[in-house]
Amino acid sequence: MAQSPDQQTVRRYLQQSHERIFENNRKWVATKTQSDPAFFDKLAEGQQPDYLYIGCSDSRVPANEIMGLDAGEVFVHRNIANLVPTVDLNVMSVINYAVRHLRVKHIVVCGHYNCGGVQAALTPTDLGILNPWLRNIRDVYRLHEQELDQITDDTARFNRLVELNVIESCRNIIKTAAVQQSYQENEYPIVHGWVFDLKVGLLKDLHVDFEATLRDIKKIYSLPSGSKASS
Amino acid sequence: MTSQDRLTTALNRNKEWAAQTAQQHPDLFPTLAAGQQPEILWIGCSDSRCPETTMLGLKPGDVFVHRNIANVLHAADLSSSAVIEYAVHHLRVRHVVICGHTCCGGVAAAMGNKQLGILDPWLMPLRQLREQHLATLQSLSPEEAMLRLAELNVQEGLRLLKQKNVVLEAVEQRGLQLHGLIYDVGSGVLRPMDTDEPEEAGKARLIAYKTE
């Protein structure tokens, strides 16, 4: 098929950016192998990450980089606006595998200020298939309507919703049978809520009280051991 | 190291990383605060051994990411659908990558016959591929069969991707490129898969899936 000069330029540019990736990858392998010749051999034996990280898909928040962790150290799930909808099979499978099979010690939910997903949920705009996903954030707003409505500054209200959304995701993780049962038997995992500040690159711990939240949700959501394979 | 120490370590390393990054790339954080224009959407496995930005040698702001168990795409999965819609339609990424890898626990689970509760429906597409390619997979060594299933899964993911109108439209209108990769956990090397298909298949797909 004939291509216009414009299309050819675009194709060439795409080809170059694609090749750069493989070049970078080879460099990374060389650097790793130089400092530890057995680095990849060890990884091939299996993974024992201490952390499960659930964060936003946003390109500005790369999990390993912001936590300073290497390959093999953190199991990662990233979706739009770091949501943990209780009926989402995708995130529920990740939590189940990380807790029951990898026996992670910590689960971190990491949100970030300037989150496009949270911003969209504060805006009366029809976004097609994104609507049902982002509606979860609107539900978080509804749960904290009084607190949020009292904040007069728009940015401050936006930031607070980012934080509350993280806390809600933590709560939904604690509702799972996998987390409740593992904690009862092993005293782990512990669930944490963080927010990443893009402007400075720093993580802020929201100090979610795991024990208290667990006690709180148990009245209604308690799922003690018995059915091993439940979620 | 105690459990609490491990967490403190990550938070401390973040401080070091932020300071170092700000020093090496003084413009990076101020630029990031203004918005994101990633060129790549990465759909990969949650496996801790496959950190996309690190292995690609890229920086914050470069790669939009969805990672789930065994980099599986389900047509009706709202989570990955929302990611693809946002990345392709709103951020207008130029590449979409689906990356499978060797030694994948999800692939191993689908090659076995153990009940895994909620993971079973999630891994169903892998079992469907196992059924479709049973003879081939049985003729291979366990290790080769796992690699083959990982490759088939990437191809299947690309097939599902190309059933989405938002993707078809971007391919047609602005040359969005789709790639299948296999990451070798034992060497750290990324290998591109041959994902060419006959022209006829592309035409049939447009007729069947393209919507206005």
Q: What is the pLDDT of residues A57-79, one digit of tens each?
A: 999 999 999 999 999 999 999 99
Query: CB distance B58–A192 less than 8 Å?
Result: no
**The pair of three-digit structure tokens given for residue A54, joined into one six-digit string:** 């659930």
Domain hosting A15: range is 1-46
Cα-Cα-Cα-Cα dihedral sign, residues A17, A19, A22, A25: negative
Model ipTM? 0.96
Mark whether A12 and A76 lie in a shared domain. Answer: no
| B25: contact with A, CB 8 A cutoff | no
Q: Supply the pTM of this predicted model.
A: 0.95
The DSSP 8-state label assigned to residue A51 in this structure reads E
Band of pLDDT at residue A3, cut at 50, 70 and 90: low
The active-site residue out of B50, B66, B99, B101 is B101
Residue A56 annotated among the catalytic residues of the structure: yes
CB contacts < 8 A (A, B): 248
Query: Shortest CA distance to B36 belongs to which of A20, A119, A46?
Result: A119
* Domain region containing B133: 39-209
A67 touches B: beta carbon within 8 Å: yes
Does the residue B25 lie in any domain? no
Nearest CB to B39 within list A17, A89, A134: A17
A118 shares a domain with A199: yes
A100 Cβ contact partners less than 8 Å away, ≥ 6 residues apart: A178, A182
Q: Known catalytic residue: A88?
A: no
Candidates B128, B125, B144, B124; CA nearest to B136 is B144
Q: Which residues of B are annotated as a binding site for Zn(2+)?
A: 45, 47, 101, 104
Q: What are phi and psi of B136, to 5 degrees?
A: -60, -50
User: Which of left, alpha, beta for B70 (phi over 0: left; psi -120 to 50: alpha)?
Assistant: left
**B positions 169-208 inside 8 Å of A (CB):** 174-175, 177, 179, 185-190, 192
Average pLDDT, chain B: 94
Residues A109 and A203 placed together within one structural domain of the fold = yes
Q: What is the pLDDT of residue A19?
A: 80
Q: Using an 8 Å CB-CB cutoff, list chain B residues near A18.
A: 95, 177, 179
Same domain assignment for residues A158 and A203: yes
Question: Is B17 within the bounds of a domain?
Answer: no
Residue A162 inside a domain? The answer is: yes
Residue B114, domain CATH: 3.40.1050.10
Are A131 and A153 members of one domain? yes
Please tell me whether residues A136 and A39 are part of one structural domain: no
| Tally of domains within chain B | 1
Q: Are A206 and A167 in contact (CB under 8 A)?
A: yes
pLDDT in tens, A85-111: 999 999 999 999 999 999 999 999 999
Same domain for A59 and A151, yes or no, is yes
**Same domain, yes or no: A17 and A121:** no
Residues A142 and A31 in one domain: no
User: Does the residue B31 lie in any domain?
Assistant: no
Pair A28, A134 in one domain: no
Domain count of the fold of chain A: 2
In a domain, A126, yes or no: yes
Whether residue B74 lies in the annotated active site: no
Interval B131-162: pLDDT, tens = 999 999 999 999 999 999 999 999 999 999 99
Structure tokens belonging to residue A142: 């509804």
Q: Are residues A79 and A175 in the same domain?
A: yes
User: Are the Cβ atoms of A60 and B78 closer than 8 angstroms?
Assistant: no
Is the peptide bond preceding residue A62 cis, with omega within 30 degrees of 0? no
Contact A90 B64 (CB under 8 A): no
What CATH number did the domain enclosing A150 receive?
3.40.1050.10
CA-based nearest residue in chain B for residue A186: B3
B104 is catalytic: yes
Q: CA torsion angle for A173, A174, A177, A178 (degrees, to 10)?
A: 70
